[in-house]
Structures are given as structure tokens and as C-alpha cells.
């Protein structure tokens, strides 16, 4: 078995701490949950329309609905992450 130099056997890595300009895990989780809530807010009123649009796909229509909803969730999540990173890099707003 090959053991790369510096892998030192049974040493465990400590979790990385976020510094002053880095996002914490809580911020990532909150943006994920907000993306999920936004997806739910889009899914509820537009579900009949989404099903009607995907109806011609027959057996793949349920897959298309899931792909569309997951895409909305991921796009909102990514958008929130980008906005939070932009604000973090920009620094505190002075008033």
C-alpha cells in the first residue's frame, strides 16, 4: 500500500475555522434553506402549469418536473451565495 509523504498515519484533520472574511457553515445552510423555501413558493402556484407543460413527455414528465424544481432551488441557492459573497467582499456599509 502506498502512503504519501506527510500523511502521517492516523492523524485526523481538524475542521477548518472560518476567518473574518469567510462564510460560516450557518450562512451556507441558511442560504440553502432559503433556496428550498423559494422553490416551494414557486412550486405551489405554478405546479399545474408545470405539469401541463411537461405532459407531452409522457413517462419523463415527472422527471422533467423534478429537474425544473431542483434547478429553481439550486439557482436561488447559488444566487444567494453570490450575493452574500459580494456583500462580504464589499465590506460593511457605512452610513
9: left (phi over 0), alpha (psi -120 to 50) or beta: left
Half-sphere exposure of 21 (CA within 13 A, CB side): 4
Angle (nearest 5°) at CA 65 between 61 and 70: 145
pLDDT of residue 11: 57
Query: Residues 46-93: pLDDT tens digits?
Result: 999 999 999 999 999 999 999 999 999 999 999 999 998 898 888 776
22 closest CA partner among 84, 94, 92, 93? 84
Query: Residues 19-43: pLDDT tens digits?
Result: 556 778 998 999 999 999 999 998 9
Amino acid at each position: 500500500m502506498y502512503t504519501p509523504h506527510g500523511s502521517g498515519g492516523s492523524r485526523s484533520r481538524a475542521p477548518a475555522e472560518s476567518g473574518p472574511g469567510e462564510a460560516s457553515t450557518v450562512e451556507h445552510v441558511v442560504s440553502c434553506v432559503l433556496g428550498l423555501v423559494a422553490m416551494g413558493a414557486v412550486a405551489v402556484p405554478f405546479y399545474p402549469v408545470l405539469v401541463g407543460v411537461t405532459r407531452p413527455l409522457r413517462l419523463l414528465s415527472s422527471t422533467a418536473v423534478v429537474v425544473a424544481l431542483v434547478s429553481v432551488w439550486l439557482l436561488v441557492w447559488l444566487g444567494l451565495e453570490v450575493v452574500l459573497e459580494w456583500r462580504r467582499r464589499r465590506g460593511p456599509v457605512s452610513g
